[in-house]
Structure 1
Amino acid sequence: MGTGSFFRQLHDNIFVMPNPWDIGTAKLLASFGFKALATTSAGFAFSRGLPDGGVGFDMMIQHCRELANATDLPVSADLEKGKGDSAGSAAETIFAAEAAGLAGCSIEDHTGDTSQPIYDFSQAVERVAAAAEAARALKRDFVFTARCENFLWNRPDLDETIKRLQAFEKAGADVLYAPGLPDMEAVRLVCSAVRKPVNVMARPGLTVAALAEAGVKRVSLGPWLTEFAFGMLETASREILQDGTFGFARAAMPFSKLQGLFTPKP
């Protein structure tokens, strides 16, 4: 079974898909027993000293290729709006993602333009339809996720978000995703309004059990692990500079464990 087919089957039941931001974190998370991984556009950008949205498409695809080659697990990519604004560019995004060795990817209806952050409804649906058609044309299974970004860009309209997700489903998307849903009731309403698997981004206060009860099939972490790692660096730095102590090292992963994980096997 190919990674794409295995990745699709995972959506029969709820699973958590964490988001590494480089080769080392991909290998580390894979070693813990997760069944699939996803890239994080923000996490990778921050690791390069760039803001979210500041990574060009070619650099992002190269990053995806590195992560896909780093593990035998299926890797899905956060490719933001994709290669461009047109429906044709959405299709080209799918072809580039498959060529990079990915098992799936997501494309957003966020334009990248803060003055007009969300594509018009018809253009958003046309982009999803073109991407879905491209995914079906591939020789191997590929899981395409369509994202509605309303709640991340000051458009907290649940009815319109559901309307978009339903249209994306009809246009052929395999998985539906509206990051930033405000509460569990919104999650339940989204899950009950569509038939395709729904992805939800984890946040404090949610549990896998509660999300499963609501009908969610996939939980991703977005930039949370990256933010956590940067937060621990901040905490350690404050201890060093303010207290002159190094107690943070007690919580560090042992050097020997990391050395053993990253040493090539004979």
Structure 2
Amino acid sequence: MTTADVAALSQRAEALRNLHRRGTPLVLFNVWDPVSARIVEEIGAPAIATGSAAMAWAHGVADGERISRQEMLDAVKRIVSAVRVPVTADLEAAYGQTILDASRTAEAALEAGAAGLNFEDARDDGSLTDLDLQCERIAAILEAGKRQGARLLINARTDVFLKRLGADDGWRTSEAVRRGQAFLQAGADCVFVPGVSDESIIAELTQRIAGPVNILLTAKAPTISRLAQLGVARISVGGAGYAHALWETRRAARALLVDRDHSFLRDRIAGDEINEFFAR
């Protein structure tokens, strides 16, 4: 990257960091390609987030690092090029379990123009990465940014609730706090705890974790305004946006092919409007 590129990326990363405020959450509709990113930007989103599941599905593979690091970051680069707002990329567990894997993924994310990244502690066998190792990997991501002159925003995710680990929610809450605090001390900017919808647990997480907390929005989750009252700083939908788009595709296809009903054609974005997304 040129000096100008680094300076611009640093500004985007700082702008993204400033959007993470307890009680006035950054709400993100996770995208999967340049078109979805431009739609979200046009609506007025101050930042764009990719979703690893949605990106994988859009590439014809299942979620869970079945898309390669290079494929993922090539897709991220195309999204970054399509929008003007900061882009934060979901890069799963950094496509490997070593410190070097984390460092290389961070370097590649910076080269792709990402201002931030999601980094999770889940392993393929259903367990979580050793906490000390995960913190070393977070520190390596931070150091990779420093070497290139741009400090990536790190959204460190723990899957203790998503994997339903431990005996009960009390243990899971304490473990999420323990991990979240360690992640922040290692250099993370935000702690992502997917799999939580109970208000009392969310409140405890935001009170005990000394930094911004990201909650994954689900149909069972509290409203966005309630999550703000609970102190959440970031709200995302993961792969649900793409899953909804697929649901609409199936509904329209069934209407046309089974019911011989083409009324869905009234509800669409015009081709000229889509072309305009990329005319600038």
Normalised TM-score (structure 1): 0.91
Look up the equivalent residue of 2:235 and give its one-letter code: V
Q: Which residue of 2 aligns with 1:21?
A: 32
- Structure 1: runs of 5+ lacking an equivalent: none
2:174 aligned with 1:165: no
Contact map agreement 1:75 1:103 (CA 8 A) in 2: yes
Q: Which residue of 2 aligns with 1:123?
A: 133
What is the Cα deviation at residue 136 of structure 1?
Answer: 4.4
How many residues in Structure 1 have an aligned counterpart in Structure 2? 262
For residue 55 of structure 1, give the secondary structure of its aligned residue in structure 2. coil
Superposition map of 1:102-251 within 5 A: 102-111=114-123, 113=124, 115-155=125-165, 157-204=172-219, 205-251=221-267
2:42 aligned with 1:31: yes
Contact map agreement 1:83 1:92 (CA 8 A) in 2: no
What is the Cα deviation at residue 44 of structure 1?
Answer: 1.1
Q: Which residue of 2 aligns with 1:44?
A: 55
Could you say what the CA RMSD is over the residues aligned between the two structures, in angstroms? 1.8
Q: Which residue of 2 aligns with 1:6?
A: 15
Look up the equivalent residue of 1:211 and give its one-letter code: L
CA distance, structure 2, for counterparts of residue 161 and residue 100 of structure 1: 30
Superposition map of 1:83-102 within 5 A: 83-102=95-114
2:87 aligned with 1:75: yes
What is the Cα deviation at residue 135 of structure 1?
Answer: 3.6
Contact map agreement 2:142 2:152 (CA 8 A) in 1: no
For residue 119 of structure 2, give the secondary structure of its aligned residue in structure 1. strand
For residue 161 of structure 2, give the secondary structure of its aligned residue in structure 1. helix
For residue 154 of structure 2, give the secondary structure of its aligned residue in structure 1. strand
Contact map agreement 1:19 1:38 (CA 8 A) in 2: yes
Q: Which residue of 1 aligns with 2:5?
A: none
Normalised TM-score (structure 2): 0.87
Look up the equivalent residue of 2:254 and give its one-letter code: R
CA distance, structure 2, for counterparts of residue 195 and residue 28 of structure 1: 34
Match of 1:59 among 64, 71, 86: 71
What is the Cα deviation at residue 77 of structure 1?
Answer: 0.5
Contact map agreement 2:30 2:236 (CA 8 A) in 1: yes
What is the Cα deviation at residue 137 of structure 1?
Answer: 4.4
CA distance, structure 1, for counterparts of residue 233 and residue 126 of structure 2: 31
Q: Which stretch of structure 1 is more off in the superposition, 23-32 or 120-129?
A: 120-129
2:275 aligned with 1:259: yes
Look up the equivalent residue of 1:69 and give its one-letter code: S
Contact map agreement 1:135 1:144 (CA 8 A) in 2: no
Contact map agreement 2:156 2:190 (CA 8 A) in 1: yes
- Structure 2: runs of 5+ lacking an equivalent: 1-7
Look up the equivalent residue of 1:120 and give its one-letter code: D
CA distance, structure 2, for counterparts of residue 194 and residue 154 of structure 1: 20
Q: Which stretch of structure 1 is more off in the superposition, 72-81 or 234-243?
A: 234-243
What is the Cα deviation at residue 51 of structure 1?
Answer: 0.3
Q: Which residue of 1 aligns with 2:3?
A: none
